[in-house]
Amino acid sequence: MTRIELITSLQKIVKPYVQDQEAFKNLSEETDFINDLKINSANLVDVILDVEDEFDIEIDNESMEKMLSVKAAIDIIETKLADS
């Protein structure tokens, strides 16, 4: 999967949790889940669980700690996919 494809799937995953639609429209690698998309921190775990289901990977606690932006999430998904 290319990075663009990964971002597109991630976009679908975060959509239901996004509270700032304007920021969502302009989503890029630099977009921050909490500061930009205003995703409730309690929903971050849903994003992580959805990512696990969608890509059939396991996100360990250490990786989860860093999953605060699109870029961080894509990096982690890429690494996990390469390992699996």
Partner 1 sequence: MIGNDIIDLSVAKLESNWQRRGFLDKQFTENEQQLILSATNSFVLVWKLWSMKEAAYKIYAQKNEMRFFAPKKFVCLLISKKKGLVYFKDQIFYTSTIVTQDYIFTLASLEKVTKPYSKFVNPQVIDRMIKIKLEDVTALSAIEIEQKKSKNGAPSYHYKDILLTRSCSISHHGNYGVYSLLYA
Instruction: Enumerate binding residues for partner 1 (CB under 8 A).
Output: 17, 34-35, 40-46, 48-49, 52, 61, 64-68
The answer to whether the beta carbons of residues 13 and 26 sit under 8 Å apart is no
Half-sphere exposure of 22 (CA within 13 A, CB side): 2
Query: In terms of CB distance, is 8 or 40 closer to partner 1?
Result: 40
Query: In terms of CB distance, is 17 or 24 closer to partner 1?
Result: 17
Shortest reach from residue 4's CB to partner 1, in Å: 25
Shortest reach from residue 2's CB to partner 1, in Å: 26
Q: How many CB atoms lie within 10 A of CB 51?
A: 21
Query: In terms of CB distance, is 6 or 51 closer to partner 1?
Result: 51
CA separation (Å) from 12 to 49, 62, 84? 14, 24, 23
